[in-house]
Amino acid sequence: MARPPTPLRSLVVRVADELRARIESGELSAGTRMPSVRQLARDRRISPFSAAEIYNALVAAAVLEARPGSGYFVPSRPPTAVTGTSGADFPADSVWERRREASGRHIQVDAGCGWLPDDWLYADGVRAALRAVARQSPLRLEGYGNPLGLTELRAHVARLLDLRAIAAREDQIVLTQGASQALDLVVRECLAPGELAIVEDPGYPPLFELLRYRGVQMLALPRTAGGPDTEVLAQLLKRHRVRCLFTNTTLHNPTGTTTTLASAHRILELADRHDLTIIEDDIFADLATRTPATLASLDELQRVIYISSFSKTLSPALRAGYLAAARPLVQRLARTKVMTCLGSSELLEQVVLQVLTRGQYRRHLKRLQDRLAGAHARVVPGLESRGVELAFRPLSGLFLWARLPSGDSVGKLWRRALNRDVLLAPGELFRPDARATAHWRFNIAQCDAPALHGFLDSL
Amino acid sequence: MARPPTPLRSLVVRVADELRARIESGELSAGTRMPSVRQLARDRRISPFSAAEIYNALVAAAVLEARPGSGYFVPSRPPTAVTGTSGADFPADSVWERRREASGRHIQVDAGCGWLPDDWLYADGVRAALRAVARQSPLRLEGYGNPLGLTELRAHVARLLDLRAIAAREDQIVLTQGASQALDLVVRECLAPGELAIVEDPGYPPLFELLRYRGVQMLALPRTAGGPDTEVLAQLLKRHRVRCLFTNTTLHNPTGTTTTLASAHRILELADRHDLTIIEDDIFADLATRTPATLASLDELQRVIYISSFSKTLSPALRAGYLAAARPLVQRLARTKVMTCLGSSELLEQVVLQVLTRGQYRRHLKRLQDRLAGAHARVVPGLESRGVELAFRPLSGLFLWARLPSGDSVGKLWRRALNRDVLLAPGELFRPDARATAHWRFNIAQCDAPALHGFLDSL
C-alpha cells in the first residue's frame, strides 16, 4: 500500500513563494487585504489547511500581518523596529538551519555555542544523585505527579529564589522542561496572535521563533551596557499597545551585560504605567559571582514572570527549568502544562533535587564561577591581541559580543572559519529581524582554542 | 512596590459570561458574526488582549467558532456530532477540575484513573538503569543533544516497532515527553484553527483539550467493539472536509476495545480517498498479549503518524514517549519540538534505554500482562455480581467501560463514591462534547478493592 509522495507540497511551496515575491516586489502594496483562507484555497485549488499553512508561514516570516477577526494584510508600515534586511549571502536564517549546515562536519571549536563544555558540568554530582534516587524506597513511579512539578523540588527552588531576594512560595513555582518550556507556556498563555511583544536586540533566537510561530509581532529593544535601553523602551510603549516584554537580567545572552538596579527600577515604572507583563529570563543568575538585582525581587512577582533553569550549572541534558509568577497566573500556566505534556518527569526532578541538596553543589558552583573568571582573564586578551573588538566588557558569564578584524562578509567569514573546523555564531542569528550586524557571539568557555586563534590570525 | 490585584480580571470574566449567556439563550442567533477583537475591546474598554482572550475561551468552550481570516461566529449549525448538553449537576468540566475537587481528600481507590499502581511498575528495572547510567563514563551532559532525541534510544525504538511490523528508521522517530507532547506537536503542526478533526467518542480527554485550545473543531466518531465505527466515519468524511483522525488502536482508552484488521483496512481506504492524516495513538500496545495489527503497519507510515510511550509499562513518572512518521513530517515536528523545549532530556533517555535493554524487561512485560489478565478474571465477575454492566468485554488492557446499577444522577453517584474515598471517572469526561452518559471508566488494576465493592453494594 505504499504511495508516491504527494505533489501537493510543491504546489503549496510555489503558491507561498509567489505571494512572497508579489509582496516583496511591492506589487501587493502595504495595507492590502489578502483573500480569506477559504478564498485562497478555492482560487488555487489547495486545501484550506494548506492555504492557512501558507499564511501562517508568511506571518511567521513577517511578510504578512495577521489581524485576528479581520484577516491577513500586507504590513501597512515598515514595522518600527523590526525591519528585515537580512545579510543576503548568509544562508542560515535560524539556529536550526545553522546546525543543519554544520552537521556532519567535525567541529573542533564550537566558538559561539550556548553551553558549557562537558567537563565543566557537574557529572560527579549527577552520578551521585542517580545513585541516591536508585536507593530510594519506595521509588515513586505512579501517576503523573503534581501538575506544578515535584513538591520537594519546588520547595527547594523557593529557597534558592529566597537567596536571590525573590519571595515565592512553592505553589507559585512551576517546574518545566528547561527554561524553554517555560517560555513556550508563557507565549501560549499570555499572548494572542497579532499582539505585540518587546524583545531584546540582540536577544535569544528560540524566543523569536516561538513568538513568530504564535503570530506575535516583535518590537526590538536595543541592549546597552546597563541592560535594555530604557529610553527606547519608553518610546516604544508610548507608540504601541504592547502586552509583554521579554528580558534577560543577569549576564545577558548574547552580550554578557547585566541590568543595573537603576534600569530595573525604570523598567518596572514603565511597565506599571503601561500595564506591561515582564518575562524575566534569568538562566545565567548562578554564573554571577555577586547576586544581581532582579526585576522579580523589586516587583515581588506582581507583573514579572521569573524564569530560570539548571541547564547552565548542572547540565542542559537534564532539561530542568522553572518559572515563578503570581498565583492565578501559575494556575493557568500549570493547566496549559498539563494539557500539553500531562506533567514533567518527577523521576528526573528527584535526580535534580538530589544534586542540589547533596552538599557539594555550592562548591561546584563556586568552582564553575572561578573557572569562568579564569577563562575571561585568558580569553579576552587572546582575542583582543588578534584584533577582535568587544562591544561590552562583562566580568563573568558565558558570552562576549564582538567584531572580527576583517571587512569580509558574514557568510564568507563563517565559511572560512568552518573550513578550519571552527563554528562561529553570526550576530544576525540573535536579532529579532535577522538584520545584518558585524557582531558575533563568542562563548568564553569554548574560545581558549588554537584552531580559533589560527583562524583569527589568518584574517 | 506590592500592588493590589487588578480588578480587570473580573471585568473580563463578566464580559465573557455575558456573551456566553446571550449566545446560549439564543439572543445572538446561529450564524451571527461577533464584533472584531478590536471592536469588542473598544466597546467594553478592555485591552485587545483581554478581548482576544475572551473569544479564545469561548471558542475553547465551543460557544463560538473561529474562522481564520473571517472572525468569530455563533456556530451556524448544531455541529453534527458534537453538541453540548453536559450533565448539568456534575461540576467537573475536565479532568483538571475533577482532580482539583478531589485533591486534599484521602482517596483509597482511584477506580477510574489512567495509570497502573506503583507496585505494578518496573521499579527494579528503573533502579538498575539509574545505577547503570551513573556508571557511564563519560556521562554525556553537554549540549541539547539530537533534536529527534537520543540516537541509541531511537534505534532501539525502531527495533521495537519492527516487532509490531512497523518499518521505521531511527530518523523517522522523534522522542517526546510522553505521548502527550507528541500529540501536542502534531496538533500544533498539522492542524490550523478552524480546521476539522475527527476524535473517538468516548476518547482521550487531554486530546480534546488540546484541540479546543488550538481552535480545532471536533467531530465525534463512535467507538464500537471492533474499533471506530467505519460507517459513521464514511458519512462524516462525505459531509465534511476533515484534516485529521485521532484514534487509539490497541486496548482503547476508555473502552478497552481493539481495532480489528478489517476496520483498520477500511479506515485506511477512507483516509486515502479523503486525504486524511491519521494520528494513531497506540500507547497500550505493550499491554496486549498478542501483537495487534496497527494502522501504521498497514499504511507504512504514509499518512499515519504513530504515537506510543513507556508510561504504561515502565512508569508515567519518566515521561518518555515517541512518534514515528514520514521523514518530511518528522523534520517539521522535530523543528517544533526544538522551538518549544530545545530538546528532550537525553539523560532521561539514557535511563530509558538502559531499562529497555537490560535483559529483564521482556520478563517484566510478560509478568505485567499476566497480572492484568488475572485482574480481569477477578475484577469483572466482582463488578458484574454487583450489577455493574460492561459495554464491552476486553480480555486485557487497563480499562472497562460500564454502567452502575443505579438511576441516580452522575453527580450524585460521584459524590457518594467520594464520601467512601472512592474516586470514580464519569463517562462524560471522555466525550468530546462532554455529553451526559451513564457509562463510567474503570481501571482494572485498581478495582479489586473492598471500598469500591462497599460502594457498589450500597447502590
What is the CA B251 to chain-centroid distance, rounded?
A: 14
Query: Looking at A372-376, B306-310, B341-345, which range is the least confident one?
Result: B341-345
Closest in A142, A194, A341 to B319, CB measured: A341
CA distance B341 to chain A (A): 5
pLDDT of residue A89: 35
Asked if A122 lies within 8 A of B144 by C-beta distance, the reply is: no
pLDDT at B446 over 80: yes
pLDDT of residue B14: 77
Asked if A342 lies within 8 A of B180 by C-beta distance, the reply is: yes
Complex confidence, ipTM:
0.77
CA distance A184 to chain B (A): 6
Q: Where residue B4 falls among pLDDT bands split at 50, 70, 90?
A: very low
Q: Quick one: closest CA in A to B301, which residue?
A: A2
Alpha carbons A5 and A370: distance in angstroms, whole number? 55
Coil, strand or helix: which one is A72? strand
Coil, strand or helix: which one is A423? strand
Residues in chain B within 8 Å Cβ distance of A3: 272, 302-303
Grid cell digits, residue B1 = 512596590
pLDDT at B88 over 70: no
Q: Phi first, then psi: what are they for B275, rounded to 5°? A: 50, 55
pLDDT of residue A349: 94
Q: Quick one: closest CA in B to A320, which residue?
A: B345
pLDDT of residue B68: 60
pLDDT of residue B83: 28
Task: Estimate the share of chain B in helix, then strand, then coil, as percent rounded to the nearest 5.
Answer: 45, 15, 40
For residues B75 and B212, the answer to whether their CB atoms sit within 8 Å is no
pLDDT of residue A95: 53
Name which of A238, A234, A166, A228 is nearest A200 in CA terms.
Answer: A228
Asked if B319 lies within 8 A of A2 by C-beta distance, the reply is: no
Q: Phi first, then psi: what are they for B378, rounded to 5°? A: -90, -45
Name which of A364, A169, A382, A204 is nearest A286 in CA terms.
Answer: A364
pLDDT of residue A289: 84
Q: What is the pLDDT of residues B171-213, one digit of tens each?
A: 999 999 999 999 999 999 999 989 999 999 999 999 999 999 9
Burial A154-173 (b: 16+ CB within 10 A, else e): bebbbebbeebebebebebb
Residues contacting B131, CB < 8 A, separation 6+: A130, A131, A134
* Sheet containing B425-426: order of strands: B389-390, B399-403, B439-443, B425-426
Asked if B341 lies within 8 A of A319 by C-beta distance, the reply is: yes
Q: What is the pLDDT of residues B210-241, one digit of tens each?
A: 999 999 999 999 999 999 999 999 999 999 99
Residues in chain B within 8 Å Cβ distance of A346: 317
Mean pLDDT within A335-340: 89
Q: What is the pLDDT of residues B33-66, one digit of tens each?
A: 888 888 888 888 887 767 877 887 777 666 787 7
Name which of B297, B296, B303 is nearest B243 in CA terms.
Answer: B303
> What's the DSSP call for residue A270?
H
Name which of B389, B25, B129, B55 is nearest A192 in CA terms.
Answer: B55
Q: Where residue B73 falls among pLDDT bands split at 50, 70, 90?
A: confident
Q: Where residue B2 falls among pLDDT bands split at 50, 70, 90?
A: very low
Residues in chain B within 8 Å Cβ distance of A68: 36-37, 52, 55
Q: Phi first, then psi: what are they for A429, rounded to 5°? A: -60, -25
Alpha carbons A80 and B61: distance in angstroms, whole number? 37
Residues in chain A within 8 Å Cβ distance of B49: 191-192, 195, 243
pLDDT of residue A282: 96
> What's the DSSP call for residue B318?
G
Q: Where residue B69 falls among pLDDT bands split at 50, 70, 90?
A: low
Asked if B71 lies within 8 A of A72 by C-beta distance, the reply is: no
Q: What is the pLDDT of residues A147-199, one digit of tens each?
A: 899 999 999 999 999 999 999 999 999 999 999 999 999 999 999 989 999 99
pLDDT at B79 over 80: no
| Average of per-residue pLDDT values in chain B | 87
pLDDT at A33 over 90: no
pLDDT of residue A104: 63
Asked if B178 lies within 8 A of A134 by C-beta distance, the reply is: no
For residues B178 and B169, the answer to whether their CB atoms sit within 8 Å is no
Q: Phi first, then psi: what are they for A91, rounded to 5°? A: -80, -15
Q: What is the pLDDT of residues B103-148, one digit of tens each?
A: 667 788 899 988 888 889 999 999 999 999 999 988 888 877 888 9
CA atoms within 13 A on the CB side of A156: 18
Asked if A181 lies within 8 A of B341 by C-beta distance, the reply is: yes
Closest in B141, B316, B342 to A206, CB measured: B342
Pure H helices in B25-116:
37-44, 48-60, 95-102
Closest in B209, B318, B339 to A213, CB measured: B339
Residues in chain B within 8 Å Cβ distance of A309: none
Name which of A71, A16, A75 is nearest A44 in CA terms.
Answer: A16
